[in-house]
Structure 1
């Protein structure tokens, strides 16, 4: 069974700021991001600082959009499609006035 792929968001519920990431394996990436934040090693320093200051309860990690696999089984590289999906998600959220890390 292939892993779900798509775009995930870490959302600061206090100020509604988002951090987005496209992932070929959503479950694995969600676990990785949560682990990094809990251990103080997330790549986005401002997000990490807010996580440390506000603690885990102030955040949620959600799947924004999923990308379906093509019927052509020979296609294995979905990086371009995932990045495009992330851009689409970012644009939609910007239209709603969302701020980002």
Structure 2
């Protein structure tokens, strides 16, 4: 097998930490909650979006720009424990875990950057 194919196969077999993260603003203690299939790369992706002004959450984007990205901390809240069941839908499990974290932390209003949905 060629070195390129070996590297590609090794990448496919890699296990990435999956779960829920928060971006916390140390100045006002507001948090933004998100989930990802790769917790170790999520901060880099999030930071690039915020630095380029393209993050979908307007309140978070505004605070990031006002503070020039200072005093924001990326924190891992929950890591999804993987199982040996081949049919596991990890994307769905991560979304469920994110909903549970949202219910626990209630990152709305003065506590966070999320909008509370009607009916809650």
TM-score tier by shorter-chain length is: 0.7 to 0.9
Report the Cα distance in structure 1 between the residues aligned to 2:69 and 2:79, rounded to whole angstroms: 24
Secondary structure (helix, strand or coil) at the match of 2:70 reads helix
User: Please, which of 69, 73, 77 is the counterpart of residue 82 of structure 2?
Assistant: 69
How far off is 1:76 after superposition? 5.4
Secondary structure (helix, strand or coil) at the match of 2:56 reads coil
Report the Cα distance in structure 2 between the residues aligned to 1:75 and 1:53, rounded to whole angstroms: 45
Secondary structure (helix, strand or coil) at the match of 2:89 reads coil
- 1:2 aligned partner: 15
- 1:38 aligned partner: 51
Gapped regions of structure 2 (runs ≥ 5): 1-13, 114-120
Report the Cα distance in structure 2 between the residues aligned to 1:8 and 1:90, rounded to whole angstroms: 11
- 2:104 aligned partner: 92
- 1:83 aligned partner: 95
Secondary structure (helix, strand or coil) at the match of 1:57 reads coil
How far off is 1:22 after superposition? 1.0
Gapped regions of structure 1 (runs ≥ 5): none
Name the structure where strand makes up a greater proportion of residues: 1
Give the TM-score normalised by structure 2. Answer: 0.74
Report the Cα distance in structure 2 between the residues aligned to 1:14 and 1:75, rounded to whole angstroms: 43
CA RMSD after TM alignment: 2.0
Q: Select the structure with the greater relative contact order (CA < 8 A; seq sep ≥ 6).
A: 1
